[in-house]
Every structure is written in structure tokens, then in C-alpha cells.
Structure 1
Amino acid sequence: MGKGGRSQVLRDETDDAVWQSPYNALDPKAPKLPSKGEIKAVIPKECFERSYLHSMYFVSRDTIIAIGIVLLTKSCLSTEVPSNLFSLEGLTWFAGWNMYAFWMGATVMGHWVLAHECGHGAFSPSQMFNDFWGFIMHQALLVPYFAWQYTHAKHHRRTAHLVDGESHVPSTRDECGLFMAIHEVIGDGPYAAFEVFTHTVLGWPLYLMGLASTGRLANDGSFLQKGEIMDHFRTNSKFYPSNGKLDAKIMVSTIGVIATLGLLLKLSLDHGFLTVFLWYTAPYLWVNFWLVTYTWLQHNDPSVPQYGPDEWNWVRGALTTIDRPYGIFCWFHHKIGSTHVAHHLFHEMPFYRADEATAAIKAFLEPKGLYNYDPTPWYKAMWRIAHGCHFMEDMNGVQFWKSFNDKTIPPQKKKAA
């Protein structure tokens, strides 16, 4: 479709109250984008100051909360399944372990975010210190720290780039044959539920294994061939250039994940697979849920474009980021979703300065129509995206998400004179 990639569509449902991004790159009157330096100039300099003590306070806080949840659960619940799950005792047991899994997952997601800060160098002034703590926290959650650190940096360098982007890279219509068929069979609502399930339950491990949502280009800039994958575990994965130091880091990350899996297997053999599932795996699934929820919602909305190589630039890409309200989970997750515009513009900024930076950025960008804040509750926004963000028509120009439920209006033929 090239430039002007927003095709005219008929939607089955309309809602005038649905949030729309204020910036439309196709509008001839679209405001001129500021430079990164101009945006940085409005942010107080102290927002970029990193503190060992401040960052370690949050590691300690989250760890103490997690230990408290474990001790409370251990005092109230047994890992043995009640003889009758439908009795009061059985229902209490089931509800109790689900409550543990949810809140433990919410808490440990805080450690995930802190490790992510470490990877960006926002945790402290020392990258060695950052990598030490980031490695420990991420490896405990089966994240190959150094391997993902490298690919996540590419996501920041190429945000919303349709060809060279990384993670949640849109598919084109031609690449969606199977999913369009599934949508046709089960219908719009069930397909949206399918999208939520596959993203939040399967999405993260599939991404790490190179089976979903990775970019289109190998590290040498060539397009991936059919059947090729880019995973986070092999030193010769096409994600990574041939580099002795980077190879060693990837190997260490992979060994760390294997060691964690080995420990979990040993605990399962010693104490039972159900015990390990209840204490570790169930919260781990909630961590993955939150991780994918944030990454899915941070840059995606039917009104937010992505750009082909002919239209993309770094500021344009970064300003596709959307801040959203997450309620109490902002506290647990160190405001990763509510101050993500600031983070994407300046990833080296510590999260505990992000509120102040966001206020300054908003005051500068919002009057220009360049700041994305969607007040929609996150779960409603997720449902809207699951309904409306399925593919993009092309990899060139300015492209907007399309739904399999959209009915494209064919171009009108000119009548003969």
C-alpha cells in the first residue's frame, strides 16, 4: 500500500468514546516532531541520576513482600490436594493457592522490571553492578538475561519499524492465512479470547524460542528465510553477530536458564511436581501474563501507526508508545506501564524518577498532540486490541492495524465519460 497505508474500512461496531491517538502521521497538518535533544531539554537533570541505595531498596522491598507471601501461604495452606475439591475445604484450598499465585506473580513481576532496569543501565551508575543483579533476578525467572538484553536494546532502537522492529512485529495479511481461517470459523469474540490466551500464556516462551513475534531481519540485515528462527539460547542464533564477548554472555545466560530448570526438576523429583507447580510455576505464569500485557499494550492500538523504512525515524517510533493506568499494579511493577513514554525516550532514566519526567514530557508533547495517554482500563484496552489489531497491509509507508473483522471497501471505478 505504501504511503497512506490506512485503508478505508467498515467496522461492525463503532464507539465514539474509544480513545484515539492524537497524532496521525497521514494528516497533512500533523505537527513537526521535536528532536530527542529538544525533549530531553525539558526534563529536570536530576531525573537521570541513578542511586545504588534507592534501587537496592526496591529489590529489598519486593523480596520482603515475596517472602511474606510465602510464609503466610505456608502457614495457611497445604500442597496436598483435599480428598473432595468441591467441599468447603477443597474450594478454600483452590481459592487460596490461586490467590497466592496471583499476588506472588504480581510481586515477582516487580523483580522482573528491576532486572529490565539493570539491562538498560538505569539501575545504578555501574553496569557491572547492574548486570550482577539483573542476571540473578532474570535467571530466577527463566529469562536469558544477556541474550534478551541485546534483543531488547534493538526493540528500543527500532520501535514501530515494520521491517527492522523487534518483538510484537505485525504480520501482513498474506502471512495470516491460518489465523484468518481460525477467525472465520470461531467468530470475532472467541478469536479475541484466543488472542489474549496465546499472547499472555504462550507468547513469552514462544518468543524466547524464536517461534513468535520476532523481527524480520537477521543481525546482518538480511530477511529471514522460511523456516529460519531467531532464538535467545544459541550463540549462532541469527539474532546475534559473531562476537566472542557476546557469545560468552549468551552462553552464560543459557547455562543459567538450564541451571534454574535443573533445580526445579530436582525439587520436583524430591517434593513432587504439584508442589513445584503451586509454589513456582503458577506465579511464573502470572509473571508472563503481566510481561506480555505490558509489552503488547505499550505500542499497539488501532489508532497508533507503525512505519515502513521510508517513513520511520527514531522519534516517530518512540512516540508510538502509550502510557496507560494500571491501578495498584503501578506500585507493584514500578510504573513500567504508566510512564513508558518516558522510558522509551530515555531508557537510561531510573524508574523512580519517571513520574517527574513524565510530567515534564507530557507538558511539552501534549499541547503539540504528540503524547499518547489512554485512560481506558488496561483490561478493556487489551480486549480492544485483541479485537482490532490482527495484521497490517504492508511493510512500507504508514500502516495502521487492521482486524480480520474489517471489511475493506474496494476502490471505486471511474465511470467512462
Structure 2
Amino acid sequence: MTSNLISRPPAREFLPFTLQDVRRAIPAHCFQPKAWRSLSYFFLDIGIIALLYWVAAQIDSAWFFPIFWFMQGTMFWALFVVGHDCGHGSFSRYRWLNNLIGHLSHTPILVPYHGWRISHRTHHANTGNIETDESWYPVTEGYYNGMPWYERFARFHLILVVYPLYLFRRSPGKQGSHFLPDSPLFKPHEKWGVITSTVCCALMLAFLIGLGFYQGFGFVFNYYFMPYLFFVMWLDVVTFLHHTEADIPWYRGKDWYFLKGALSTIDRDYGIFNPIHHDIGTHVAHHIFLGIPHYYLREATEAIKPVLGEYYHESKEPIFKSLWRSYRSCYFVPDKGSKVYYQSPQR
């Protein structure tokens, strides 16, 4: 006997709360950036960077340089986070000020402000969506099995230094450059913003090359390249850990919607580095409401925890333990289905 029942896809799963429920829990002042306060963090970072350069020049010793590289690279990362707020419009209410400080924060560390800002906007609008997310999204098992060795090596084993490659080539399965205005990342009206940021980075690179000829490339290596490398490592570690965890779900198609995707991230505790890098590890509230300035994220997080309940994710374990565990276990997701989780190949 033939059944007349038609196979139906599972019903779309909705969260037991809405975006409006979450917003109502947060004090209103958390959504109000203060330009003077945001600028104070920018000038504090610039001041510490200048002080570290002065100290390194005074000591000028091989034993101190590794300490300097790590400290200055950490401050480069802090400066990036200031530009990150500018890109989201949470630095101030003035677009011209956001763009100015964004370029002043990102150009010295060779990040194309507008190019990055636009792709990062795409990431926030599609977080947790396997098909449309922009950065640190999982590949499918079928794609993983077909990856050439060099792409697999870069994606899964160079996670600490892959960011510059992402700026030039984007993530697996996507095309385009953050430096070129005709990249599929950008819309036609965004052309001149992208060009402006690319020119700024080109001028910074020319300055570094000129400095190398004038002072020697060993000077550039010690005072810029190695701090820059530590900055890249910070950026890759933090962004990787924001979105790479074995028990964080990913969605496909109609089963995804913004709030569900925004909750597919996790808060991390970086200990003494939390205030240094402007609480960027407080990431769940940021993904839900990207207009909240970094200095209100902790307050906003405490306010939304009772609303989110079990849907709120955080980790207090040591960062390098989390990094090693995710590196070992998070490779791909199943080819089909929704609300899927990271898997690893059999070893």
C-alpha cells in the first residue's frame, strides 16, 4: 500500500525570546557612544605605543626585543579594536570622525579600513550562516575532502598568521580582495572608500620600505615587522575563538535568522588582557547589538544573561587550552542539515 504522506522538512526552530526582548534588558545608555571617551582610548593606545618605542630605543638590546615585540604587537591589536568600533559606528555618532580615527587606527597596521569594514559588516549580518558568513565559518565535509593540500594547510594549520592572506584572498570558497574596488565584496557606490583605504595602506607600505633603506631593514624588522606579526597572531587567535567551538551551532537556509546566528559565538576571558584589548572577548552582546561601544559591553552582557539563559555561551578556561582543543576538533560540518556542529576527521 502506497502512503499518501509527503515528506516535509522539519519546522523552523525559533528562540524563546525576540531581539526586542534582549534589547529591552539593556540600559539605554549602553547604546550611546561618547566621542570624548572613545577618543581617550585611542590616544591612550597611541601614547602607550609611543612609550614602548621610546623604551625599546633606549634599551636597544637583543634580550629586550622579544618582550617589546609581544607588548607592541598587543598594543597594535588594541589599536585595531579601536578601529573596529569605528567601523561599526560605535566609536561616535559622527561618521567623519569614525572614518578618520578608523584610518588612523588601521592604516599603521596595514589594514584597509573601508575594505575591512565592509566585509566585517557582511560577517555580522550573516553570523552563524554556513552559506553566507564571511569569516571563520566552517567548510562542509565534502569541500574539506576536496581541498588541495596548500589550501587545507593554510586554513587549518596556519591559523595564527592567516589574516594577511584573508585580506588578499578571503576565506575558502570565496573570491575577492579587500584592496580592490571591483571585488565582489563591494557595491559600486563603495568604490572610492575602498580606494582611499588601499591608497593609505600603500603609502604606509612605501614609508616602511623607505625606512628600511634609510635605517636598515633590520631596524624595520625589530621595530615594525615583529610587532606586526604578534598583532596578526592576536587577531587570528581572538577571531578564531569567537566562532570556533565544538558545541556552537551553525545553520542553513530558512532555519537561520539573525538572532540565532548572533548567538553562535562565545565570550572568552583573556585575563589581564581584557582591559588592554578593550574587552573584545565580550563578544555575544557585540554580535547582537554592534552599536554598543566596547566600554559598555560588560554591562550589557550582564543585563542580557537572564534573558538568553542556556543560549548564552561563555568559556572561562585558559585561552591556549581552548585554542588547542578547537584546533584539534573543529574542521568541518556535515554536508546537509541545519543546526549542525563542527566535526574533525578521523585521526
TM-score, normalising length from structure 2?
0.92
Q: 1:114 aligns to what SS in structure 2?
A: helix
Q: Secondary structure at the match of 2:101?
A: helix
Describe the shift of the 1:365–1:215 C-alpha distance in structure 2 as closer, same or farther (beyond 3 A). Answer: farther
Say which SS state the counterpart of residue 92 (structure 2) adopts: coil
Shift of 1:32: 3.1
Higher Cα Rg: structure 1 or 2?
1
Amino acid at match of 1:117: D
CA contact (8 A) 2:266 2:283 kept: yes
- 1:359 maps to which residue? 302
Aligned with 1:303 (options 241, 247, 250):
247
Give the whole-Å Cα distance in 2 for the aligned partners of 1:240 and 1:181. 30
**1:377 Cα deviation from its structure 2 partner:** 1.2
Determine the C-alpha separation between the residues in 1 that align with 2:221 and 2:85.
Answer: 28
Q: 1:118 aligns to what?
A: 86
Matched, 1:137 2:105: yes
Deviations 1:163-210 (A, max 9, x none): 11111122122222376979x9xxxxxx9xx87751111x10111112
User: For residues 56 and 340 of structure 1, do their structure 2 counterparts lie closer, same or farther at Cα, with a shift above 3 Å needed?
Assistant: same
Count of aligned pairs between the two proteins: 339
Q: Is the 8 A contact 2:80 2:105 kept in 1?
A: yes
Amino acid at match of 2:227: P
> In structure 2, what is the equivalent of residue 67 of structure 1?
50
| 1:350 counterpart residue number | 293
> What is the distance in 1 between the residues matched to 2:15 and 2:297?
25
In the alignment, what sits opposite 1:414? none
> Which residues of 2 match residues 311-326 of structure 1 at below 5 A?
311-326=255-270
| Paired letter, 2:135 | S
Structure 1 counterpart SS, 2:138: coil
2:190 matched to 1:207? no
Matched, 1:49 2:32: yes
Q: Partners of 1:75 and 1:199 in 2: how far apart?
A: 34
Q: Distance in 2 between matches of 1:116 and 1:215?
A: 25
Question: Could you tell me whether the CA contact under 8 Å between 1:309 and 1:396 is conserved in 2?
Answer: no
State the alpha-carbon separation in 1 of the partners of residues 79 and 129 from structure 2. 29
Residue 162 of structure 1 is matched in structure 2 by 130
Question: Aligned residues: percent identity?
Answer: 31
Which residue of 2 is the match for residue 128 of structure 1? 96
Residues 234 and 109 (structure 1), Cα distance of their counterparts in 2 relative to 1, 3 Å cut = same
Preserved contact between residue 392 and residue 400 of structure 1 (Cα < 8 Å): yes
Q: 1:400 aligns with which of 321, 324, 341?
A: 341
Contact 2:328–2:344 (Cα < 8 Å) also in 1: yes
Whichever structure has more helix as a proportion of its residues is 2
Q: Which residue of 2 aligns with 1:231?
A: 177
> Aligned pair in 2 of structure 1 residues 161, 213: CA closer, same or farther (>3 Å)?
same
Q: Letter of the aligned partner of 1:58 in structure 2?
A: Y
Q: 1:101 to 1:311 in 2, by over 3 A?
A: same
| Matched residue SS, 1:131 | helix
CA distance in 1, matches of 2:68, 2:223: 8
Structure 2 equivalent of residue 256 of structure 1: 200
Q: Residue 370 of structure 1 aligns with which residue?
A: 311
What is the root-mean-square deviation of aligned Cα atoms in Å?
2.4
TM-score for both structures, normalised by structure 1: 0.77
- The AA in structure 2 aligned to 1:346 is F
Corresponding residue of 1:22: none
Inter-partner Cα distance in structure 1 for 2:76 and 2:129: 31
Residue 242 of structure 1, CA deviation: 2.3
SS at match of 2:254: coil
Q: 1:167 to 1:350 in 2, by over 3 A?
A: same
The whole-number CA distance in structure 2 between the counterparts of 1:234 and 1:256 is 13
2:119 aligned residue: 151
